[in-house]
Each structure stands twice: as C-alpha cells, then as structure tokens.
Amino acid sequence: MRDVVQVDAEVIATRRVGAYHHITFVAPGVAELARPGQFVALSVGGDSSANLLRRCFSIHKVSPSGTYGGTVDLVISAVGPGTEWLSGLRAHDTTSMVGPLGRPFPLPKEPVATVLVGGGYGSAPLFWLAEALRERGCRVDMVLGAATESRLFGVVEARRAADGVTVTTDDGSMGHRGWVSDVLPAIIADHGVGVVYACGPMGMLKSVTDVAAAGGAVAQVAVEESMACGVGVCMTCVMPVAGNDGVTRMVRSCVEGPVFRGDRVRWDAFEGGVCRVPEDALGATAMRAH
C-alpha cells in the first residue's frame, strides 16, 4: 500500500490568524494517510519558478472526508520567498503537495498525563495530537509560547482541545511574561506528567528536553531542520541523534524525524545557527582523514 502521495492540492480557504496564514487545501490521499506530527512538502512559485526546493510544513489538521474530498490545513509564517508566495495563494489556486512525510508523534500505550508545548506556529500540529491523546484517556495540558501575542497560534482552539492551557509571551502581551520553560516544571509536577510533546524553535526544544528530564518525563520533540527534498534523498536535513545502541549518527530529520526523543538529540552540537558533527559520531573519524 502507498504511504505517501504526490498531488496537485487546491486551496479552498485561506485566512489570516495573527501573524500567520491558515490555509486549507483539498489534497486527496494525504488526509487519509496522515498522523499527528507528520508534515507535507509544497512546491512554491508556480511552474516556472526559480525556487526549485519544496517547503515543508507541519500538518495542522486533516479531514479525510470533507465535502471536497480529503483536506489538509497548514499554518504558514511568511519569512522568505516561498512562504510569501504561499501566503498569497487564493481560493482555487493549486500547488503540488507531497505527503504525509516523516514519523508521527508516538502515542503512549497507557493513559498518562501529557503536556503539549508549542512555540509560535509550532503549536499547529498539537491540536489533533491532543485529540488523539484524549481519545486514549490521557490528560492533556497545553503550553503556548511566543515572542508576542500576534505570534501565538491557536489559543482559543487550545481551550477546547486541552484540559488546561497556559500562555507565555516574551513581552507579556498575553499570559505569563517569559518562556515556556518557566511554567513547564510546575505543570509537570502538578499532574505527574509522563510525556512532554513539543514543537517549535531548536532552543525551545532543548530547554523543554532539559525541563522534562528534570521532572522525570520523556520529551518527544518535533524539529525543524533546513530541508531540500523532505523525502530522504538529499542528506541536507541531518542532525546528530543517538540511537538505541548509544551510537550518535547524523540522521535525516525528514525520514527518521521530525519527531525525536529529546534526550537522544545531541544538543551540545548546536550553536549559533550551525550544527557540527560530534567527535564520537559514527563516521566522524573518516571525515578527519579527508
């Protein structure tokens, strides 16, 4: 059976949500196959575009059997030419979509208490994750953080999707002034949280991993590495992650991720927007030879 499709996706609705664009695409096949935490890769700029590489976006939600066929919702932050172009799409415009891609968030077998942490648009994939967790009897708290109010996504939706919601902003324009890592320890302690799920900037994912470990919880983090293909063929999206055998490898975040156990990621290798190969990583010796 096919586990991925490549389709011309048609926009059926687009709306502004704070600093973001929330777009609904009809994408037959993608919705039926997708799980929370997976992503799609979109072509940008039209057929004669000079922007060759696909752009990757977490799936916000899917409706496998909408009026128009399966739909896929994405939340897009316009930061460069590709995301600008996508933000300008109107109803009935189309673009090529490949998905679903990557590994979804693993769901606990037992009903444990969970916290879902989203930084900025990183909250986008957490709402249908919350649904899946609650179906399994898990308690779900949500922590949404951003630099400022307009960069939060889904605060209203969170109140419906979760048992408890905490909001933080760096500038205090909404919720607690500060970072998600300031409020997380108390939530983990209060509810005996077993799993922390997080999606957002790398720095946030690292601190969530640290806070989770300190509170005795497992962190499952969805990373965002620069990707050229999204399907595992180019090797641009790698990061150092330790395997079950304890050996660190430069693994492809598009196929082996984007969700990793936080304590397996070699955060020590990331600094100042670059990631080096740890000296003990598999194959690092051969790189020093030539």
Pick 103 or 139: Cβ nearer ligand FAD: 103
Contact between 196 and 189 under an 8 Å Cβ cutoff? The reply is no
CB of 208 to another protein, least distance (A): 21
Does position 127 bind ligand FAD by CB under 6 A?
no
Considering only the stretches 110-118, 132-140, 182-190, 221-229, report the one whose residues sit in contact with another protein under the rule CB under 8 A: 221-229
What distance in Å separates the CA atoms of residue 167 and residue 238, rounded to the nearest whole number? 32
Using CB under 6 A, which residues numbered 218 to 257 contact ligand FES? 227-230, 232-237, 252, 254
Pick 153 or 267: Cβ nearer ligand FAD: 153
Where does residue 226 rank: exposed (0-12), middle (13-18), buried (19+ CB within 10 A)? exposed
Adjacent-strand bridge partners of 281: none
Pick 191 or 261: Cβ nearer ligand FAD: 261
What distance in Å separates the CA atoms of residue 144 and residue 234, rounded to the nearest whole number? 33
Pick 141 or 224: Cβ nearer another protein: 224
Helices then strands, each counted (H, E), the chain: 7, 18
What is the DSSP-derived secondary structure letter of residue 31?
H
Taking CB under 6 A as the criterion, the residue among 36, 103, 112, 121 binding ligand FAD is 121
Dihedral pair phi/psi, residue 20, rounded to 5°? -115, 165
Q: Binding string to ligand FAD for residues 220 to 239, with x set by CB under 6 A, is what?
A: ----xxxxx-----------
Considering only the stretches 28-36, 54-62, 131-139, 242-250, report the one whose residues sit in contact with ligand FAD under the rule CB under 6 A: 54-62
Q: What is the C-alpha R_g of the chain?
A: 19
Pick 67 or 226: Cβ nearer another protein: 226
Choose from ligand FAD, ligand FES, another protein, none: what does 39 bind? Cβ within 5-8 Å by kind. Answer: ligand FAD
Half-sphere exposure of 71 (CA within 13 A, CB side): 18
- List the beta strands (DSSP E) in the chain: 5-17, 20-26, 39-42, 55-58, 61-63, 71-76, 94-101, 114-119, 140-146, 164-169, 176-177, 195-199, 218-222, 238-242, 248-252, 259-261, 270-271, 274-275
CB of 255 to ligand FES, least distance (A): 6
Residues that bind another protein (CB under 8 A): 2-4, 6, 43, 50-54, 96, 98, 225-226, 228-229, 231-239, 249-250, 255, 269, 273-277, 281-287, 289-290
